[in-house]
A = this chain, B = another copy of it.
C-alpha cells in the first residue's frame, strides 16, 4: 500500500467560496486544527494564488504576506504551502513575499497546455531551495500525450512533482485514471491529483489516481472551495485509511478540523447544483457560473445551453467575454427557429385555404 502525501488547500481554494474574505482568526484556527491532524501541507492564500488579489478577480481581505504569516505561526509540525499562477504572480515581488513569510512548498500553476509559462518561477524557487510542484489546470482539455509532454517540461524545470488539476470537475473516473497512469509512466517525478465535485466523483477519482500510481492528493475540509467544491479532505483520509494507504493523518483530528471549518469558515456548504453539473459536463471552469446565469437571463436563453456552447468553444478562465457572444448566437438561433415556425404555419394556413 502506498504512502500518500496530502496537501490541504482549504485556506486557499476555500477563499474562492467566500470572495477571498477569510480573516485572521479563521486562518489561525483552521491552520492550528490541520496542524494538530498532521496534514502534510497546508496551502494558504487568495483563491487564485499569489498576486491575484485585484478588483477584477476579487480583493482578498488580507495580503498574501499576512495570510501566510498567520498560518505559519500555527504550523509547527506541518509545511506551509503557497500557490502561484505566473501572470497573477510576478516572480520577484510575489514569490519573495511568500519565501519571506516562511512558505516551504510552492505550487506553480498553468493551463494544461502552457507549462512553458512556469519555467522561470519553478527554476527560481528551486534556486531558493524550496519544494516545488507544477500544477496543470483544466486537465480534461489536453490529450494524454499532451499532458505527458507538459508534465515533462515541468520536470525539466526542476519541479519535484506535477499535480493534475480537474478545475472543472469534468473527469470521469476511467478517463482520469488513464491519464494519471500515463503521467506516472512518462515522468520520473511524483504525480498528484486535485479534484472537484461537479459530478460528485472527487473522492472516487482521487482513489483511482492512487490506483494509477499518484502519490499526492489534495482535499479541503468539507470540500470548501470553488464551485461544486473540492475533494472532501476528511472523507479522503478515511477512505484511504480503509484501503490501507498511509497518509500520516489522525482521523479524529482531521474530522475535528472539518467540523471547525464547517462552523467557522464555510458560509454555505459546497454542493453540486444543476449549473455545477452542467459546467462539469461541458468542461467549463465553475467561475463562469455567475456571469453565465446573468447573461443567459438577460438574453432569455437557457444557461445550460450557454455552458455546453462554451464547452464546445473550449473557453478557459479569462475569456468571459465569449459568454456574451454565445448567448447572442443562441438567442438568434431561437429567434430564427421561431420565425421559421411562423413561416411554416403561414404556409400551412395558405395551403389549407387553397
On A, residues with C-beta under 8 Å from B are: 172-173, 197, 199-204, 207, 222, 232, 234-235, 238-239, 242-243, 252, 255-256, 258-259, 262, 269, 271-274, 277-278, 280-281, 302, 304
Contact of A273 among B242, B262, B277 (CB under 8 A): B262
Q: Is the contact region of chain A dominated by helix, strand, or loop, or is it mixed?
A: helix
Give how many copies assemble into the complex. 2
Tell me which of A200, A255, A269, A277 has the highest count of chain B C-beta atoms within 10 A of its own C-beta. A200
The distance in angstroms between the C-alpha atoms of A204 and B235, with both chains bound, is 14
Report yes or no: B200 in contact with A202, Cβ–Cβ below 8 A: yes
Known A173-B204, A199-B203; judge A238-B277 contact (CB<8 A): yes
Report yes or no: A232 in contact with B274, Cβ–Cβ below 8 A: no
Which residues does chain B contribute within 8 Å of A243, judged by CB atoms? 172
Report yes or no: A207 in contact with B173, Cβ–Cβ below 8 A: yes
Report yes or no: A172 in contact with B278, Cβ–Cβ below 8 A: no
User: 6 closest pairs, A vs B, by CB?
Assistant: A204-B204, A255-B274, A200-B203, A200-B235, A269-B271, A238-B277
Contact of A278 among B203, B255, B281 (CB under 8 A): B255
Report yes or no: B239 in contact with A201, Cβ–Cβ below 8 A: yes
The distance in angstroms between the C-alpha atoms of A201 and B239, with both chains bound, is 10
The distance in angstroms between the C-alpha atoms of A89 and B262, with both chains bound, is 39
Which residues does chain B contribute within 8 Å of A255, judged by CB atoms? 274, 277-278, 304
Report yes or no: A271 in contact with B271, Cβ–Cβ below 8 A: yes
Closest to A256 in B: B274
Report yes or no: A222 in contact with B304, Cβ–Cβ below 8 A: no
The distance in angstroms between the C-alpha atoms of A197 and B201, with both chains bound, is 11
Contact of A222 among B238, B271, B302 (CB under 8 A): B271
The distance in angstroms between the C-alpha atoms of A252 and B301, with both chains bound, is 13
Report yes or no: A272 in contact with B200, Cβ–Cβ below 8 A: no
Report yes or no: A238 in contact with B199, Cβ–Cβ below 8 A: yes
The distance in angstroms between the C-alpha atoms of A271 and B229, with both chains bound, is 12
Report yes or no: A239 in contact with B278, Cβ–Cβ below 8 A: no
Which residues does chain B contribute within 8 Å of A269, judged by CB atoms? 269, 271
